Structure 1
Amino acid sequence: MRCMLIDDDIPTIEALRGIVNWEEFGITEVLTAHNIQDAKQLFENGDPDLIICDIEMPRGSGIDMIKWARDRQYEGGFIFLTCHESFTFASKAISYDADSYLVKPLDKQELEAALRKSMDTLKNKIMLGEYSKLGHAWLKNQDLIERSFWSDVLTATISPRPQLIQSEVQKRELAVQAHAEYRLLLVSVPRSQIEREWDESIFHYALSNLVSEILSSRVGSGRMIAYQVDKVFYNAIIVESPADMQELEASAGEIIRLSRQYLKCTATCYFSEPGVISRLAQLKTELEQADESNIIFRGKLHLPNKPFHVDLTERFTLDTELFTLLFVQKEKAQIVNRLKKELELLTSLNKLDAATLHSIREDLLQVVYSLLARHHIQAHRLFEGELSQQLAQDAESSVFDFMKWAQALTDKTVDSIKEVLQSEGVVERAKRFIQDHYTQDLSREDVAASVYLTADYLAKVFKNGTGQTVKEYLNDCRIRAAKQMLLESAASIGEIAMDTGFDTISYFSTVFKKWTGETPAAYRAKHKAAL
C-alpha cells in the first residue's frame, strides 16, 4: 500500500518518515509533497491508499486538498495534522470523511492509533464493497500474497513441517485452512507443441489468462501458479478437496479444447490425489514426472485413479544393422518411413514412453556417427546450426518432433556422405573456400571444417585432386593476387603482404621468390616497366 505525506515543513516530513514503522501497517511506499500542487501531480502516477496532510499551508490548505481529492472520487484514508485545535477545521475535515485530526507536536502513540484506525476503515470498506479502487488494489495485493505462499509451498521453499506452514498462513493473514486437503491440477504445454511464431513470454501470459478465465469462478487467482521448467510451460492450480470433480474435469477439458482452438497448442491436464499442504510439493513433482514420460497421451485429461498405461514388458530395440544398410544405400525415404512405421506401431500397442523414444534416438545417432566417422566427416560441424540444435532439443517431446529431427538428421547425413564420395565436389568446395578467405589467417583445419572433414582426410583428397597440398594452393592464391597488386597498384610491399594474408614482409618475400624466382620489388620493377 502507498501513503502520501503532505506538509510545507520539511523537518516534519522527515520526522513522520522516521517515526513510524510503515511496513507494520502494510505500507510499502511513502510519497512526500511540500504543497498540494505537488501532491496533485503525484496522483497522476496512481492514487495513494492513505494521505497524511497538514491543514495550514501557504499554497493551499489541507481542506482544499481533501475537497479536491473527494471531488475526483478518491476513497482512500485521510489524516489531518495542525498546530491549533479548531472546531471549524475539525468540522470541515469530518464533513469530507477524514479519519483523524491530530494536533502538533505529534505523539507517536496517537499517530499509530490513527494509522490503525485508517487501516481498519479501509479493510471494512473493502469487505462491504464500498471502496472500489482501493478494494481492487487491496484484493489484488492479497492475491499476490497468497500466490507467493502457494508458490513457496510448491517449490518447498517453506518447510513441509505443519507448524511452519501454519505460522506462514498466520503471518501472511491468509484465508487458508492449514490442515485441510487439496488437489493439484497441472496444465502442461511443451514448447515444441506451440507455434514457432509465439514469443515465449507472450505465450506463457496468454496460457495463464486462458486458464484463469476458465477457472476463475471456482478457484481464486491467488491459487493459480504459472511457471516454466526447461521447455515446458506449466500452470499449477490448487483446489480444495473435496471439490466438485465433475465440474473441475469439465473445466480441464475446456482448457484443452480452447488451447487448441485459440492458442493453437496441445495442452495436457493432470489431477493429483488429495493431500495436505505439506505434500503438495511432492505431488507437483510426481505430476511433472508423469508429464515428462508422457509421449503418446498428450492433449488429454489424466486422473490419479486412471493413469495412462504403457506396456513395458518387452523393451523395443532399433534394428541398427538394417538402418546402417539403408544409410549406406542412401535411401532417405525408406529410413524415414521405416522409423515412422516403428513409432506408429509402438504407439498403437501403448509401448512408447520417454525412455523408449530416448533409446531409439541414441541407437539412430550411433548408426549416423559411425558412418560419419567412416567417411571422416565431423559430426559437430555438420549439426552445429541453430535449427539442427533446436530440432535435437525437441526430439524427445513427441513423435511428431522426433520425426522432424530424424528427417533433418537423415537428409544431412546422406547428403554429406554423397559429397564426400564425390571427392571432386569436396575439393572444389575447399578451393572455393580458400579463394574467398585467402586474405585471412587460414589453417588446414579451417579449410577442412568448411567441408565437414577431418584435416588429414581433406589433405589426402585435396592432394589427389589438385596435385598440391592445401598450404601450397593457399600460397598460390595469395601470390597470384600479390602479383596483380604489384603491377596495378602503388601500395608498398608491406601493405601488399598484409593484404594478401602474409604475417610478415620477410615471409612474403620468401614465398614470392620461391613461386616466381624474383623478389617482389624486382618483379614490380621488371614487369611494370614492360607495361
Structure 2
Amino acid sequence: MRCMLIDDDIPTVEALLGIVNWDEFGITEVQTAHNIQDAKQLFDNGEPDLIICDIEMPRGSGIDMIKWARDRQYEGGFIFLTCHESFSFASKAISYDADSYLVKPLDKQELEAALRKSMDTLKKKMMMGEYSKMGLAWLKNKDLVERGFWSDVLTATLSPRIHLIQSEVQKRELSLSVHTEYILFLVSVPRSQIEREWDESIFHYALSNLISEILISQVSLGRIIAYQVDNVFYNAILIESKIDMKWLQDSAENIILMCRQYLKCTATCYFSEKTTVSGLSQIKTELEQLDESNIIFRGKVHLPNEPFHYDITERFTLDIELFTMLFVQKEKVQIVNRLKKELELLTSLNKLDSTTLHSIREDFLQVVYSLLSRQHIQAHRLFADDVTQALVQKADSSVFDFMKWAEALTDKTVDSIKEVLQSEGVVERAKRFIQENYRQDLSREDVAASVYLTADYLAKVFKNETGQTVKEYLNDYRIRAAKQMLIESTASIGEIAMDAGFDTISYFSTVFKKLTGETPIAYRSKHKTVR
C-alpha cells in the first residue's frame, strides 16, 4: 500500500518518516509533499491508499485537500494532524469521513493506533471490493429500499392495514414478515442540547453514523431512519422482538455516553412495547409525545411501561409579589437567578413536569404584562421580533430553553421600563424615528409603535417635553427639509412636496405658509442660491 504525507513543516515530515515502522502496517511506499498543490499533482499520478495531512498550511488547508479528494470519489484513508484542537475543523473532518484527528506534538502510540484503525478500514473496503459492481449496487439499493419502506410505515404514508403492507413488501421484494413483532427504539437529541457550533446537517449525519456503528452488528442500516421534527433530531430503529434486550439496553447506554463524549450533546433513548408493523406509526407518535413531555429526565434510557415519576401532590406557585418587586427594582440578575434556583429545586425534587413549567411561564408573563401595562408599553410590539418569537416557541420544551426565554424577556422588559421612566430618552427616540422616516405616510400611532408606547401616552410625554404635538413636530421637520430643497435643488414645488412627505401641493403650501409666513415659490425666489 502507498501513503502520502502532507505537511509544510519539513522536520515534522522527516520525523514521521523515521518514527513509524511503515512495513508493519503493510505500507511499502511513502510519498511526501509540503503543500496542497504538490500533493494534488502526486495524487493525479497515482492515488495513495492513505493520506496523512496537516490541517493548517499557508497555501491550502487539509480540509481543502480532503474535500478535493472526496469530490473525485477517493475512498482511501485520511488522518488529520493539527497544532491545536478546533471544533470547526473536527466537525468538518467528520463530514468528509476522516479516520482520525491527531493533535501535535504527536504521540507515537496514538499515531500507530490511528494507522492501525485506517488500515483495518481499508482492508474491509478491499474485501467489499471483491463483490461485483452489480452486487454492491444491489446491497446499497436493498438498504435504501428497506429504509424507504420503514420510513413510509412510521409516517403512516402506508396504510396500517395488513394486506396493503404485505402487498408493499412483495412489491419492494423485501424479506420480512408483516406478522413479526418489533420494538421501536427512538433516540432523541433536542437542538438546544447540542453545541451551537454544529451545523445541523453535519450534526444529523454524525449522529446517525454514531448510532449505526454501535448497532451495526445486530441491526441493518435499512432499519435505522433519521429524521427531524421541529427542533428535535430523531433516529428511529426497528428491532425484531427476539433480540437480546440486555444487549439492546447496553447499546442505548453506550449511545448516550458516546454522544456526550464525542458529539458533546445529550441524547435520550426510548423503547416501545412489542408491536406488529401495522402499529408502528402509532407507537412512534406516542414516543415523540413522551419525549416532548420530558422536561427533567433527559440523558437516560426509558423502558416501556415506566412513566416519568413526578411528585405533583402539591402544585408549585410562583411568588408573584416577589418577582414584581424585583422587576420594579430593575434587578435583572436577581430575577433570572431566583427563577433558575426555583426550577433547579423543583427538578431535584422531581416536581417539574410540563404542566408545572407551563404554569410558571404563565405566572411570569402575568408579572411582566402587568408592569408593562402600568407604563403604557405595548407588549405585543415589544416582543414581536423574530428572536423573541423563536424563544417563545421553545420555552416549554426544557429548563434550558425556558431560562433563555425568561432571560431575554427580563432584559427587554427592564430596559423598556427604564427608557419610559427616562422620558427624554423616549422622546429623543421618537424624534429620531420621525427624522428618519418623515418622507413616509406617518401617523401618531406609527411613531408611538416605534418606541413601544400607546399613542395617547406618547402624545402626553412628547407634548410635555417639546411643547409640540407629534403632528406639529412632524410637519415642522418636513418644512425644514423642504426649505433646504427649495434653495438647493431645481425640483418643482410638487416634487419637493412629495419628497418632504406631503400628500398634496395645496396642503404643503398651506403648512409652509403657516410656519414660514410666505409661499414656497416666494421663499425660493427670496433665498435661491446660485451654485
User: TM-score normalised by the shorter chain: which range applies?
Assistant: 0.7 to 0.9
SS of aligned partner of 1:239:
strand
Q: Deviations over 1:151-204 (max 9, x none)?
A: 222223333333333333233221213222111110001122223333333322
| Partner-residue secondary structure (3-state), 2:396 | coil
Distance 1:150 1:527 in 2: 82
Q: Could you say if the C-alpha distance between residues 491 and 282 of structure 1 is closer, same or farther in structure 2, counting changes exceeding 3 Å?
A: closer
Greater CA drift, 456-465 or 273-282: 273-282
Q: How does 1:446-525 map to 2 (within 5 A)?
A: 446-525=446-525
Contact 2:184 2:272 in 1 (8 A): yes
User: Could you tell which deviates more after superposition, 267-276 or 489-498?
Assistant: 489-498
In structure 1, what is the equivalent of residue 234 of structure 2? 234
Is 1:360 aligned with 2:368?
no
Q: Residues of 2 paired with 1:168 and 1:432: CA distance?
A: 66
Partner in structure 1 of residue 256 of structure 2: 256
Whether contact under 8 Å (1:434, 1:474) holds in the other structure is: yes
Normalising by the residue count of structure 2, what TM-score does the alignment of the two structures yield? 0.72
Regions of 4+ moved over 4 Å = 128-131
Per-residue displacement from partner, 1:197-225 (whole Å, max 9, x unpaired)? 33333322222222222212210111111
Task: Note if 1:287 corresponds to 2:287.
Answer: yes
For residues 436 and 339 of structure 1, the distance between their equivalents in structure 2, rounded to whole angstroms, comes to 40
Deviations 1:366-409 (A, max 9, x none): 22122212211121221122222222222222212211111111
- Once residues 245 and 477 of structure 1 are traced to their aligned partners in structure 2, the CA distance between those partners, rounded to angstroms, is 78
Once the two structures are TM-superposed, the CA of residue 129 in structure 1 deviates from its matched residue by 9.8
CA contact (8 A) 2:487 2:529 kept: no
Task: State the 1:321 CA deviation.
Answer: 2.8
Q: Which moved more, 1:354-363 or 1:315-324?
A: 315-324
Q: Which residue number in structure 2 is paired with residue 205 of structure 1?
A: 205
- Residues 1:154 and 2:158 are matched in the alignment: no
State the partner residue of 1:191.
191
In structure 2, distance between residues paired with 1:171 and 1:524: 85
Distance 2:384 2:263 in 1: 31
Q: Which segment drifts farther, 163-172 or 425-434?
A: 163-172
CA contact (8 A) 1:444 1:455 kept: yes
Q: Secondary structure at the match of 1:144?
A: helix
SS at match of 1:234: strand
* Secondary structure in 1 matching 2:370: helix
The 2-side partners of 1:165 and 1:526 are apart by 90
1:163 alignment counterpart: 163
> How far apart, CA to CA, are the structure 1 residues paired with 2:196 and 2:382?
24
Q: State the match for 1:139 in structure 2.
A: 139
Hey, what does 1:30 align to over in structure 2? Answer: none
8 Å contact from structure 1 (residues 494, 505) kept in 2: yes
**Corresponding residue of 1:319:** 319
Query: Could you tell which deviates more after superposition, 409-418 or 484-493?
Result: 484-493
Deviations along 1:289-317, one digit per CA (max 9) or x if unpaired, are: 21111111111111225443112222222
- Equivalent residues of 2:192, 2:400 under 8 A apart: no
Does the CA-based 8 Å contact 2:189-2:234 persist in structure 1? Answer: yes
Query: Which residue matches 1:329?
Result: 329
Q: What letter corresponds to residue 151 of structure 1 in structure 2?
A: S
Which whole-Å deviations, capped at 9, do the CAs of 1:74-105 have from their partners, x for residues lacking one?
Answer: xxxxxxxxxxxxxxxxxxxxxxxxxxxxxxxx
How big is the shift at 1:459?
1.1
**For the structure 1 residues 520 and 213, does the alpha-carbon distance in structure 2 shift closer, same or farther, using more than 3 Å as the test?**
same
Aligned ranges 1:79-158 → 2 under 5 Å: 131-158=131-158
Would you say the 8 A contact 1:129–1:135 is kept in 2?
no
Alignment of 1:263-278 (within 5 A): 263-278=263-278
- Name the SS of the counterpart of 2:490 in structure 1: coil
CA distance in 2, matches of 1:225, 1:530: 77
Distance 1:211 1:190 in 2: 16
Q: Distance in 1 between matches of 2:380 and 2:472?
A: 28
Q: Distance in 2 between matches of 1:336 and 1:130?
A: 63
Distance 1:475 1:436 in 2: 14
Asked if structure 2 preserves the Cα contact closer than 8 Å seen for 1:159 and 1:165, the reply is yes
1:404 lines up with 2:412 in the alignment? no
Contact in 1 for aligned 2:462/2:469 (Cα 8 Å): yes
Aligned to 1:425: 425
Q: Which amino acid aligns with 2:181?
A: E
CA distance in 1, matches of 2:471, 2:206: 57
Describe the SS at the equivalent of 1:179: coil
| Larger displacement relative to structure 2 (491-500 or 137-146) | 491-500
Tell me the distance in 2 between the aligned counterparts of 1:530 and 1:161. Answer: 88
The SS at the match of 2:269 is strand
Q: Distance in 1 between matches of 2:317 and 2:286?
A: 28
| Counterpart check, 1:434 vs 2:424 | no
| Conservation of the 8 A alpha-carbon contact between 2:144 and 2:222 | yes
Structure-2 separation of matches of 1:173 and 1:527: 90
1:472 Cα deviation from its structure 2 partner: 0.4
Q: 1:521 to 1:318 in 2, by over 3 A?
A: same
> In 1, distance between residues paired with 2:198 and 2:342?
32
Q: Which residue of 2 aligns with 1:217?
A: 217
CA positional deviation for 1:480? 1.4
Give distance in 1, aligned partners of 2:275 and 2:337.
Answer: 46
Shift of 1:530: 12
CA distance in 2 between counterparts of 1:509 and 1:178 reads 84
Q: Deviations over 1:401-448 (max 9, x none)?
A: 211111111111011011111112111111121122222222212211
After TM superposition, give the deviation of residue 475 of structure 1 in Å.
0.8
Residues 247 and 493 of structure 1: CA distance in aligned 2, closer, same or farther (over 3 Å): same
Amino acid at match of 1:203: F
Query: For residues 413 and 456 of structure 2, what CA distance do their matches in structure 1 show?
Result: 20
Letter in 1 for 2:467: G
Query: CA offset at residue 246 of structure 1?
Result: 2.0
Paired with 1:492 and 1:284, the residues of 2 have a C-alpha distance of 70
How far does the alpha carbon of each residue in 1:464-499 deviate from its partner, in whole angstroms, 9 at most, with x for none?
111111010011111112222223333332232222
Q: Partner amino acid for 1:172? A: R
- In structure 2, the partner of 1:300 is 300
1:188–1:233 Cα contact (<8 Å) kept: yes
Which amino acid in 2 is paired with 1:527?
H
CA RMSD of aligned residues (A): 2.2
| 2:64 aligned residue | none
Amino acid at match of 2:155: T
Q: Distance in 1 between matches of 2:498 and 2:199?
A: 46
Contact 1:192–1:397 (Cα < 8 Å) also in 2: no
Distance 2:315 2:262 in 1: 38
Distance 2:146 2:476 in 1: 74
Whole-angstrom CA distance in 2 between matches of 1:162 and 1:505: 77
CA contact (8 A) 1:192 1:394 kept: no
